Amino acid sequence: MENYYPEHKGNTVLKYLVVAVLFFVLGWQGTALGLWDSANGEIVLDPKDENPSALARSDVDLDLFWLVWDEIEKKYVDGDKLDRQKMIYGAIEGMVEAVGDTYSVFMTPDATQAFTASLEGELEGIGAELTVEDGRLVVVTPLKESPAEKAGLLPDDIILDIDGESASDMTLFDAIMSIRGERGTTVTLTILRKDLKDAFEVSIVRDSIDIASVTVEDLDGGIKYLEVNQFNDKTTEEFGKAISEMLLDEPKGLIIDLRYNGGGYLNVAVEMLSYVLPADSTAVVIRERGADDEVLKTTGGAKLLNVPIVVLVNEGSASASEIFAGAIQDLERGVTIGTQTFGKGSVQEVESFNDGSSLRLTVAKWLTPKKRAINEIGLVPDIIVEISDADVEAEFDRQKDEAMKYLLNL
């Protein structure tokens, strides 16, 4: 998977079903330009005078747009090759890009289809979540057991070139589609790493990316280890099943590993928290423009209220992972161990249009239950544990080991 995330779906009991990274069930109506009349497929303006979008449009002169359009139509040397639909999409992409928000993106039908596959675990590529920072293509996290992880990609790696082409000359989705490809083919990336002076190349053989949301392991001393790789459509069911099954063993402690988890749907984080927090606990606070803060609470049905919990996080933990860890931390339900998280504290809403295109727009910021803002900051774990190069070479997971020690010593 090559993506970035949290997401939000509209018109549900829990209004926010998020983004991360990073994305994605289709079927909403509406448009940034007005209201979508699904009966005839036309864009119509909201008739209410107080509609802020209508007021803004009244101050915008689009004559220049059409002047440029006409110049292209009349004078472009290869006029017979003009793709007018592509021109429209390009204009919209440019408008959204001009907002200046990394996570707000207009997606063509092809990009939307590819984007949607990311949370369904149905794609071929290298298995890395990407974002853009200061105009540079950056790795948020490689997925566990993915070709990207096996090739040694790390969070915060900057991708300079993709098969010899400059990534800075591509849109994010062009870069994603260039990195994706058929299983067995190879992509060569030029990487700049913060601790290294010179850039280096890494060739990665693409593979099918089967995203297992949740995996479970029995550890010594009655400790259960639950690794959550994504917050997708399957995660709540898999997480709930794992929790129900481990209850039969009366666990002495639970490690929830969110390292290298780039996030996903916000509502999944809330649903997962509902298994380990009392009913009506504050899970996350949503702050929209011009509106009172909206508090999303756990829904009840907690099964692990008395089992000690450790949440593992690192620089690859983003979005919904930070929502989950932030709630555990603020409500003192457990401790967080690892390194500072990525810092993805915004919420995106996805609007889907009749032609298959979509708009992913930042509509809110989220805060922890104590109303801490973590965007571009991240969460600092309760217990900071670094993993050294020597640990990596010895294949020793120091953070997991420290979590074990903590729980066994309670």
Condensed to tens digits (0 to 9), the pLDDT of residues 109-127 reads 988 887 676 555 456 889 8
Parallel/antiparallel/unpaired status of strands 165-166 and 158-162? antiparallel
Q: What is the percent of the chain where pLDDT is above 70?
A: 84
Taking 60 as the threshold, does the pLDDT of residue 303 lie above it?
yes
- Do 79 and 204 sit in the same domain of this protein? no
- Do 33 and 76 sit in the same domain of this protein? yes
The least confident of 143-147, 204-208, 218-222 is 143-147
- Do 347 and 328 sit in the same domain of this protein? yes
Q: How confident is the model at residue 56 (pLDDT cuts 50, 70, 90)?
A: low
pLDDT of residue 262: 87
- Do 376 and 287 sit in the same domain of this protein? yes
pLDDT of residue 8: 43
3-state DSSP of the chain: CEECCCEECCCCCCCCCCCCCCCCCCCCCCECCEEEECCCCEEECCCCCCCHHHHHHHCCCCHHHHHHHHHHHHHCCCHHHCCHHHHHHHHHHHHHHCCCCCCCEEECHHHHHHHHHCCCCCEEECCEEEEEECCEEEEEEECCCCHHHHCCCCCCCEEEEECCEEHHHCCHHHHHHHHCCCCCCEEEEEEECCCCCCCEEEEEECEEECCCCEEEEECHHHEEEEEECCECCCHHHHHHHHHHHHHCCCCCEEEEECCCCCCEEHHHHHHHHCCCCCCCCEEEEEEECCCCCEEEECCCCCCCCCCCEEEEECCCCCCHHHHHHHHHHHCCCCEEEECCCCCCCEEEEEEECCCCCEEEEEEEEEECCCCCECCCCCCCCCEECCCCHHHHHCCCCHHHHHHHHHHHCC
- Do 244 and 333 sit in the same domain of this protein? yes
Domain boundary, last residue among 177, 209, 241: 209
- Do 233 and 283 sit in the same domain of this protein? yes
- Do 150 and 187 sit in the same domain of this protein? yes
- Do 302 and 218 sit in the same domain of this protein? yes
Q: How confident is the model at residue 230 (pLDDT cuts 50, 70, 90)?
A: confident
Domain boundary, last residue among 161, 181, 209: 209
Domain boundary, last residue among 209, 238, 255: 209
Condensed to tens digits (0 to 9), the pLDDT of residues 243-279 reads 999 998 999 999 999 999 988 889 999 999 999 999 9
Write out the residue range of the structural domain in which residue 201 sits: 123-209
Rounded to an integer, the average pLDDT of 334-356 is: 94
Q: How confident is the model at residue 349 (pLDDT cuts 50, 70, 90)?
A: confident
pLDDT of residue 308: 97
Which tops the pLDDT comparison, 225 or 173?
A: 225
Name the one residue in this structure whose structure tokens are 């018109």: 11
Contact yes or no for 327/283 (Cβ under 8 A): yes
Q: What is the percent of the chain where pLDDT is above 90?
A: 61
- The catalytic residue positions are 319, 344, 348
pLDDT of residue 35: 24
| Count of structural domains within the chain | 2
Condensed to tens digits (0 to 9), the pLDDT of residues 6-41 reads 444 333 323 333 433 332 222 222 222 222 222 222
CATH of the domain at 348: 3.90.226.10
The least confident of 131-140, 196-205, 326-335 is 131-140
What CA–CA distance (Å, rounded) separates 306 from 261? Answer: 25
- Do 95 and 161 sit in the same domain of this protein? no
- Do 89 and 58 sit in the same domain of this protein? yes
Tell me the pLDDT of the chain averaged across its residues: 83
CATH of the domain at 143: 2.30.42.10
pLDDT of residue 42: 28
- Do 27 and 85 sit in the same domain of this protein? yes
- Do 109 and 219 sit in the same domain of this protein? yes
Q: Is the pTM of this model over 0.95?
A: no
pLDDT of residue 209: 80
